[in-house]
Amino acid sequence: MTRLDDFIARFDRALRTVSGVADASRPSPAQALPEAALEVRDRAHAAALMRVNHVGEVCAQALYEGQALTARNAHMREALEVAAREEEDHLAWSAERIRELDGRPSLLNPLWYAGSFAIGALAGAAGDRWSLGFLAETERQVEDHLSGHLEKLPQSDQRTRVLVEAMRADEARHRETALRLGAVDLPRPVRLAMRLASGVMTRIAHRV
C-alpha cells in the first residue's frame, strides 16, 4: 500500500473503534448462556464495569496501532497485528454486553484513543524490545484489572463473567508472546506511572 492507503486504513480503524463499530472474528463466549435476572443496581454496576473494559479495549487498539506504526521489525508488526485482531473481538464483545445491560460506552473514547495512540507510537519509537516490554506490562496490568472485575461482578451474571474470563485468558497469552519475542522489564517508575494512569482512566470511565 502507499502511505496514503495506509493512512486511510488506519483512520478508518480509528473511527470504527471510537464509534463502537467492531466486528468479532470469534463468537461471543456468552452467546449460549441465559441472561440472569439482575437487580437494577447490579445491572447498572455490571454495565459500568463493562464500560471500563470497553475503554480498555479502545486503548488497546490505539496502542497496537501506534506501536505497529513505529515498529522496526516486520515480525514484531505481525505479532502486534495478530494481537490487535483478538483485541478487536474484545471490543465487539464488550460493546454488545454494554447494550445488553442497557448501558452506554464512554463519552471520552476519542480522547482515550488519541492518548493511547501517542503512547504506543512513543513506545514503538523507543525500540522493539522496549515496545514489547511496554506491551507485556500493559497486559499484566490488564490481567490484574480483569481479575478485580471478576471479584466485583454479581455471581449470577454469568454472561458478563464468562466474557471477562475469556478476555483475561487472551491478555495472558499476549503477555507471554511479548516476553517470548524479547520484551525487556520496564523500570519500576515507569510501571508505577502506567498503573497510576490506568487507575485515573478507570475511575473516569466508570462514570463518563
What residue numbers bound the domain in which 142 lies?
Answer: 38-207
pLDDT band, very low/low/confident/very high, at 39 (cuts 50, 70, 90): very high
Q: Which residues contact 143 (CB under 8 A, 6 or more apart)?
A: 168, 171, 172, 175
Q: What is the pLDDT of residue 84?
A: 76
The answer to whether residue 17 is domain-embedded is no
pTM of the model: 0.89
Output 134 or 69, whichever has higher pLDDT: 134
- 59 is a domain residue: yes
Q: What is the CATH number of the domain that holds 58?
A: 1.20.1260.10
Is there a domain that residue 116 lies in? yes
Identify the band that residue 169 occupies on the pLDDT scale cut at 50, 70 and 90.
Answer: very high
Between residues 71 and 166, which one has the greater pLDDT?
Answer: 166
Which alpha helices (DSSP H) does the chain contain, by range?
Answer: 3-19, 40-70, 74-100, 109-125, 128-152, 158-180, 188-207
pLDDT of 106: 92
Q: How far apart are the C-alpha atoms of 149 and 145, rounded to whole Å?
A: 6
- Cβ neighbours for 113, distance < 8 A, ≥ 6 positions apart: 14, 17, 18, 58, 59, 61, 62
Q: Position of cell 507485556?
A: 136
What does each C-alpha distance from 165 to 66, 90, 174 come to in angstroms?
A: 27, 11, 14
DSSP state of 101: T
Q: Would you say residue 3 has pLDDT above 70?
A: no
Does residue 186 lie within any of the structural domains?
yes
Read off the pLDDT of each residue in 114-139 and give the average, rounded to a whole number. 88
What average pLDDT does this structure show over 49-55? 93
Which residues have C-beta within 8 Å of that of residue 177, sequence separation ≥ 6? Answer: 79, 83
**DSSP summary character for residue 25:** S
Summarize pLDDT for 73-105 with one digit per residue, the tens. 777 777 777 777 778 899 999 999 999 999 999
7 found inside a domain: no
The reported pLDDT for the residue numbered 143 is 92
Count: domains in the chain: 1
- Determine, yes or no, domain membership for 84: yes
C-alpha cell at 27: 463468537
Whether residue 72 has pLDDT greater than 80: no
Distance CA 127, CA 47 (A): 38
Asked whether residue 20 is domain-assigned, the answer is no
